[in-house]
Amino acid sequence: MNIKEAKRRAAELTELLNYHNHRYYVLDDPEIPDSEYDRMLRELQEIEQAYPELISIESPTQRVGAAPAGRFEEATHLQPMLSLGNAFTAEELQDFDRRVREGLGASGSVAYSAEPKLDGAAVNLLYEKGVLVMASTRGDGTTGEDITQNVRTIPTVPLRLQGAGYPTRMEVRGEIFMRLAGFASLNQRIVNEGGKPFVNPRNAAAGSLRQLDSRVTASRPLTMFAYGIGEWEGNGKPDSHTELLATLARWGFAVSPDVTRVIGHEGCQAYYEAMQLKRPELPYEIDGVVYKVDSAALQEELGYVARAPRWAIAYKFPAQEELTVIRDVEFQVGRTGALTPVARLEPVFVGGVTVSNATLHNMDEIERKDIRIGDTVFVRRAGDVIPEVVRVLPERRPANAKRIELPGSCPVCDSDVERIPGEAVARCVGGLYCKAQRKEALIHFASRRAMDIEGLGTKLIEQLVDADLLSTPADIFELRAEQLQELDRMGPKSAENVVAAIQQSKHTTLPRFIFALGIREVGETTAKSLARHLGGLETLMGADEETLQSTPDVGPVVAGNIVRFFAESHNRDVVSRLIDLGVTWDDMPQAGASNSQFSGKVVVITGTLAQMTRDQAKELLESLGARVTGSVSKRTDFVLAGENPGSKVEKAKELGVSIVSEADFLQLANF
Ligand code: IVH
């Protein structure tokens, strides 16, 4: 290849790679397999190695990072990076809206762009003729630090803009952040390597951006949402914020999918409440919402006060981290006997609720964070996650702070507590002799996804265990209405109902039964897999570790747990009593059995089904030996499509994957 050819090919590969990078990271909709992408990237790397003069700043090879720089240079923004005023209450939000309307002399309501306030680090990206030439931190708003090399490694930041029509010079503003999943795995990696984990995703994002070695930044799961602009040189500036974000998305930026246009302060308030509800489900942290007057002309009319625009405001959520004091630590015993230290706290209002307990996870965690009774700590409640202690304020530790000790015996049954070396958890060895473990095991047995005994919930089981009416799952099937009737909040009618539900639950499925037994680390999927692979309970109970490991999903640890479970005569007795008492199930169709044309097939279910729920369809397909997955790929055998199927069917068409209607499926399944 001569230089001319190399140059042409490098330009072509750069464009292709940038396009596919955008499909993969921003649109989450790849067109080509990873291997194809890697092949093109390697080809470009080879060309650049042969002709280093061809390496351009928009080349995707520049995303891998480079050797450390001495320090960050200063970078002055073309337009200052402003801050936002805050509102904390509905009244403050109404005041903002009133100021906007008065400022504009508006008689009616004003339209706002409403968007999540991402909790990360602000960044300024300078594009010249569509190419990213500089990225900087906010700094003091006028001058920040040049972090271009680091930002280039972030896959959702376009190195060159897609499409056309962009201005000659433009500053794009956005937030760089870390998703919760990425944050968790990064921290795990750091801990495994003996390092100190980040306190929260915001610190992790900011810390990763300020690495002098951009190869470190490249290894961190960072992403970015664009939310505005600074400088704009040239024509075609969109005349509303909504239009601006749509334009930025067209050029290849990731924009929050939760941005929407609302009317007046009522619309703003409704959006705030909706986002507060959605917050626990979001895969990243937000600390509030931001409203911006949508019209660009009206924004200009309103102008700025000090360093903040009059046309925008942040409405903050209640803090998710607060300070409080640990009064005491108690140990709770779970289903598998694991002892979990729980901190009893001075009650504190955090994340919108009063918190008085927080999990300390295990002894290693306590040691790592150096937590003691009496300490002042940061407590955090993110979403519906159990509140946890983030860190201690050592400067506030009282002289009489007490070390937390693992109890030598179980706080519930007094059996020994063992801690296997190398394992973080300590366990009560009491097994089902321990009332705490017995309760948890029974709650699990009766739960919806296990034996599904309606009405036999936590409260009732606790009472039954305390009254010594229940000690093993088999006892459930001998309960009489007269016994239940005696308990709190139980009348004759509800007692009858529970007994009826117990009788009804006797006819179950083998996977449910296996799952209900509560063998350590045998979840629903493994239970299904075991049932399908081994076909019957006898086979499962008699299987050795080697046979068990031939089941998909079952490794040596799970196989060991199963063998140990059935080696206990006590457990075997419970199983045979359950069967004597009438627990039954239908035979399992075996995996790979030739009687099912569905066996081994990979299926995706989409749309609304008329004859059954999606869960039922999944259960039926699995009982026929198929595997049900969530997204369509080349490996999908067919898509079962109901009404209003949406993008999965499009994807299937694109990939040439068969689409089967519900009616056809039921006919094929002889159902
Ligand atoms: S707009 C003139 N929109 O919150 C408007 N900021 O001071 C300037 N932030 O550090 C900011 N999400 O990085 C805007 N959707 C969003 C935002 C957002 C997060 C951050 C921003 C800045 C702080 C506001």
175 within ligand 1 shell (Cβ under 6 A)? yes
Binding site membership of 275 for ligand 1 (Cβ less than 6 Å): no
Specify whether 110 is located in the same domain as 148. Answer: yes
Atom number, ligand 1, closest to the C-alpha of residue 259: 15
Q: Is 290 in the pocket of ligand 1 (CB under 6 A)?
A: yes
Pocket test for ligand 1, best of 227, 275, 292, 317 (most atoms within 8 A of CB): 227
Give, for ligand 1, the residue of 86, 244, 290 to mutate: max count of ligand atoms closer than 8 Å to Cβ: 290
pLDDT at position 213 is 93
Judge contact between 446 and 476, C-beta under 8 A: yes
The answer on pLDDT for 268 being more than 60 is yes
180's CB contacts (< 8 A; 6+ apart) are: 201, 283, 284, 285, 382
Q: Does 120 sit in the ligand 1 pocket, CB within 6 Å? A: no
Q: Stretch 170-193: mean pLDDT, rounded?
A: 95
Spatial neighbors of 537 by CB under 8 A, at least 6 apart, are 510, 513, 514, 575
- Rounded CA-CA distance 340/330 in Å is 8
Q: Are residues 522 and 499 in the same domain?
A: no
Cβ–Cβ < 8 Å for 472, 461: no
586 — pLDDT class (breaks 50, 70, 90) = confident
Atom 15 of ligand 1, residue of closest alpha carbon: 117
CA distance 10 to 21: 16
User: What is the phi/psi pair of residue 624, to 5°?
Assistant: -95, 5
Place of tokens 């990763």: 208
CATH number for the domain spanning 141: value is 3.30.470.30
Q: Which two structure tokens, joined as six digits, stand for 74?
A: 């200063």
Cα 604 to Cα 660: distance, rounded to the nearest angstrom: 10
In ligand 1, which atom is closest to the CA atom of 119? 19
Same domain, 498 and 637: no
Position 60 scores a pLDDT of 93
Inter-residue contact 621 to 638 (CB < 8 Å): no
Q: Strand 388-392 vs strand 376-380: parallel, antiparallel, or unpaired?
A: antiparallel
Residue 592 has pLDDT above 50, yes or no: no
Provide mean pLDDT across the span 608-632: 85
Is there a contact between 473 and 442 (Cβ–Cβ < 8 Å)?
yes
pLDDT of residue 413: 93
Tell me if residue 653 falls in helix, strand or coil.
helix
- Does the CA dihedral 435-441-446-448 come out positive or negative? positive
**Closest C-alpha residue for ligand 1 atom 16:** 117
Amino acid 594: pLDDT: 43
Residue type at 300 in one-letter notation: E
Q: Assess whether pLDDT exceeds 70 at residue 426.
A: yes
Tokens of 18: 């940038």
Report whether residue 174 contacts ligand 1, using a CB cutoff of 6 Å. no
Classify residue 254: in a domain, yes or no: yes
Q: Return the residue matching tokens 């073309």.
A: 78
Mean pLDDT of 565-594: 83
* Among 117, 316, 369, 435, the one annotated catalytic: 117
Among the atoms of ligand 1, which is closest to the Cα of residue 116?
A: 15
Is 309 close to ligand 1, i.e. is its CB under 6 Å away?
yes
Calculate the CA dihedral of residues 513, 518, 522, 527 and round it to 10 degrees.
0
Q: In whole angstroms, what is the distance from residue 232 CA to residue 242 CA? A: 16
Cα–Cα distance, 475 to 479 (Å, whole number): 7
Q: Examine the pLDDT at 590 and tell me if it is beyond 60.
A: no
CA distance 447 to 453: 7
Verify that 301 and 266 share a domain, yes or no: yes
Separation of CA 660 and ligand 1 centre (Å)? 46
Question: To test the ligand 1 pocket, which listed residue (81, 118, 241) has its Cβ within 8 A of the most ligand atoms?
Answer: 118
18 C-alpha to center of ligand 1: Å?
Answer: 27
Contact 338 CB / ligand 1 (< 6 Å): no
Using a 6 Å cutoff on CB, does residue 82 contact ligand 1?
yes
Hey, whose CA ends up nearest to atom 7 of ligand 1?
A: 83
Q: Does residue 81 have its Cβ closer than 6 Å to ligand 1?
A: no
d(CA 207, CA 183): 12
Beta bridge partners of 411: none
Name the CA radius of gyration of the chain, rounded. 30
pLDDT tens digits, 345-389: 999 988 778 899 999 999 999 999 999 999 999 998 765 568 989
Please tell me the distance between residue 461's alpha carbon and the centre of ligand 1 in angstroms. 50
Rounded to an integer, the average pLDDT of 296-320 is 91
* 8 Å CB contact between 343 and 372: no
Task: Please report, to the nearest 10 degrees, the dihedral formed by the alpha carbons of residues 495, 500, 501, 507 taken in order.
Answer: 150
Q: Is 4 a residue of the active site?
A: no
From 299, 316, 333, give the residue that closes a domain: 316
Of 67-71, 95-99, 264-268, 473-477, where does mean pLDDT reach its minimum?
Answer: 67-71
Domain harbouring 447, CATH code: 1.10.150.20
For residues 162 and 608, give the distance between their C-alpha atoms in angstroms, rounded to a whole number: 36
Q: How far is the CA of 218 from the centre of ligand 1 (A)?
A: 24
- 669: exposed, middle or buried (C-beta count within 10 Å: 0-12, 13-18, 19+)? middle
pLDDT at position 86 over 50:
yes
- N- to C-terminal Cα distance for the chain? 62
What is the distance in A from the centroid of ligand 1 to the CA of 117?
6
423 lies in a domain?
Answer: no
Is the residue at 116 inside a domain?
yes
**What is the residue with the minimal CA distance to atom 6 of ligand 1?**
117
**Residue owning the nearest CA to atom 9 of ligand 1:** 117
Query: What band does 317 get if pLDDT is binned at 50, 70 and 90?
Result: confident
Q: Which pLDDT does position 382 carry in this prediction?
A: 62
484 Rama sector, left if φ>0, alpha if ψ -120 to 50, beta otherwise: alpha
Q: Which atom of ligand 1 is nearest to the CA of 174?
A: 13
Among residues 314, 323, 163, 175, the alpha carbon closest in space to that of 236 is found at: 163
Buried b (16+ CB within 10 A) or exposed e, 321-330: ebebbbeebe
**416 Cβ contact list (under 8 Å, min separation 6):** 408, 409, 410, 428, 429
CA distance 640 to 656: 14
H or E stretch at 169:
strand 169-178
In angstroms, what CA-CA distances link 349 with 142, 148, 356? Answer: 37, 40, 9
Tokens of 486: 């005696």
- Ligand 1 pocket test, candidate residues 82, 86, 113, 117, most atoms within 8 A of CB: 117
Check residue 670 and give its pLDDT: 67
Tokens of 285: 């942290």
**Residue of minimum CA distance from atom 12 in ligand 1:** 117
Distance (Å) from CA 467 to ligand 1 centroid: 58
Task: Average the pLDDT over each of 105-119, 205-219, 603-617 and give the range with the smallest value.
Answer: 603-617
Task: Give residue 594 CA to ligand 1 midpoint distance, Å.
Answer: 59
130 in the same domain as 235: yes
Q: How far away, in angstroms, is 174 Cα from ligand 1 center?
A: 7
CA 237 to mean position of chain CA atoms: 36
- Ligand 1 close to Cβ of residue 84 (< 6 A): yes
Are 145 and 289 found together in one domain?
yes
CATH of the domain at 17: 1.10.287.610
| Residue 597 lies inside a defined structural domain of this protein | no
Alpha carbon distance 164, 187 (integer Å) = 40
Burial 97-122 (b: 16+ CB within 10 A, else e): bebbbebbeeeeebbbbbbbbbbbbb
Check pocket membership of 47 for ligand 1, CB cut-off 6 A: no
150 belongs to a structural domain: yes
Tell me which residue has its CA closest to atom 13 in ligand 1.
Answer: 122
Q: What is the pLDDT of residue 385?
A: 65
Higher pLDDT, 281 or 244: 244
Query: How many angstroms separate the alpha carbon of residue 125 from the centre of ligand 1?
Result: 14
In a domain, 590, yes or no: no
Sign of CA dihedral 631, 637, 643, 648: positive
Looking at the fold, whether 312 and 382 belong to one and the same domain comes out as: no
Buried b (16+ CB within 10 A) or exposed e, 25-35: bbeeeeeeeee
Task: Compute the distance from residue 291 Cα to the ligand 1 centre, in Å.
Answer: 10
Nearest-atom number in ligand 1 for the CA of 175 is 13
| Number of folded domains that form the chain | 6
Q: What is the pLDDT of residue 593?
A: 47
Q: What is the pTM of this model?
A: 0.59
> Are residues 361 and 310 part of one domain?
no
Segment holding 494, helix H or strand E: helix 492-505
For residue 576, the tally of other CB atoms under 10 A from its CB is 12
**473/589: higher pLDDT:** 473
**Is 657 a member of any domain?**
yes
The pLDDT, as a whole number, for residue 383 is: 53
- Domain ranges, residue 284: 85-316
Q: Is the CB of 380 under 6 A from ligand 1?
A: no
- Answer whether 20's CB lies under 8 Å from 28's CB: no
Residue that is last in its domain, among 403, 422, 449: 403
Assess if residue 69 is contained within a domain.
no
Residue type at 471 in one-letter notation:
S
**What's the whole-number average pLDDT of the chain?**
92
Those residues whose C-beta lies under 8 Å from the C-beta of residue 450, and which sit 6 or more positions away, are 444, 512, 515, 516
- To 10 degrees, the CA torsion angle through 310, 314, 315, 320? -160
In percent, the amount of the chain with pLDDT more than 70 equals 98
Give the pLDDT confidence score for residue 589 in this predicted structure: 64
176 CB less than 6 Å from ligand 1?
Answer: no
Choosing from 291, 316, 341, the residue where a domain stops is 316
Atom of ligand 1 nearest to the CA of 309: 2
564 and 631 co-located in one domain: no
- 304 CA distance to ligand 1 centroid (A)? 15
Between the alpha carbon of residue 419 and those of residues 406, 411, 605, the distances in Å are 10, 15, 44
Rama region for 582: left / alpha / beta (φ>0; ψ in -120 to 50; rest): left
Residues 154 and 261 in one domain: yes
Average pLDDT on 657-665 reads: 90
| Residue 312 beta carbon below 6 angstroms from any ligand 1 atom | yes
Residues ≥6 apart with Cβ < 8 Å to 650: none
- Let me know whether 192 and 112 are in one domain: yes
Based on the domain organization, do 443 and 575 belong to the same domain?
A: no
What mean pLDDT do residues 59-78 have?
88
The pLDDT assigned to 421 comes to 79
CATH number at residue 348: 2.40.50.140
Distance from C-alpha of 152 to C-alpha of 660, rounded to nearest angstrom: 44
Amino acid at 271: Y
Which H or E run includes 170?
strand 169-178
Q: How far is the CA of 84 from the centre of ligand 1 (A)?
A: 7
Q: Bridge-partner residues for 373, per DSSP? A: 402
Q: Which residues pair with 353 in a beta bridge?
A: 350
